[in-house]
Amino acid sequence: MKILSPAFEDGSAIPDEYTCKGADISPELSFQDVPAEAKSLVLIMDDPDAPMGTWDHWVVFNIPVSVTKIDKGTEPEGVAGTNSWKKTGYGGPCPPSGTHRYFFKLYALDEMLDLSEGATKAEVQKAMDNHIIEEAQLMGKYSK
């Protein structure tokens, strides 16, 4: 399984457009080779380099396996979880200093998650335990 973006390559810089310095919109993402037995997808974007611990930028679960692309500036079909700003939806990179790494993680699950909109990343991760069939990630870097 793969998660890709035409906006940046794995390990390269995330363009300003997708950050707090630009339009702060989500980049286009595509999903490839999702396992046939998957029942739902989960997308988590986080920054493990944040000074107060990992910062959650985007949490979406129960994405239908039929979704193979998220258009630029849109939210995928699915259920929105809560990010570290205590909001749902995408929040772009905005590091206080230095270069941070941002991980877009895609999980294929063998079930739909029994969680409500606004669930936290920790709640989603706990619900995913023992249900992950496959995972993929895309990492981009950003500094202001």
The model's pTM: 0.97
SS percent in the chain: helix, strand, coil, step 5: 10, 35, 55
pLDDT at position 37: 98
pLDDT of residue 144: 85
pLDDT at residue 43 in the model: 98
What the block records as the tokens of 72 is 């630029």
Is the CB of residue 109 less than 8 Å from the CB of residue 75?
Answer: no
Under a CB-based contact definition with an 8 Å cutoff, are residues 58 and 83 in contact? yes
Angle ∠(97,102,104) on CA atoms, nearest 5: 165
Give percent above pLDDT 90 in the chain.
Answer: 99
CATH of 2-142 given 3.40.50.1100, 1.20.1600.10, 2.40.420.20, 3.90.280.10: 3.90.280.10
| Furthest CA-CA distance within the chain | 42
Report the percent of the chain where pLDDT is more than 70.
100
pLDDT digits (tens, 9 = 90+) for 45-84: 999 999 999 999 999 999 999 999 999 999 999 999 999 9
- Gap between the Cα atoms of 7 and 27, Å rounded: 6
Q: Which residues pair with residue 46 across a beta bridge?
A: 56, 103
Q: What pLDDT is recorded for position 102? A: 98
Give the whole-angstrom CA distance, residue 87 versus residue 97. 23
- Check if the beta carbon of residue 127 is closer than 8 Å to that of residue 81: no
Tokens of 135: 């995972």
DSSP run (H or E) holding 126: helix 121-128
For the chain, residues with pLDDT lower than 70 are: none
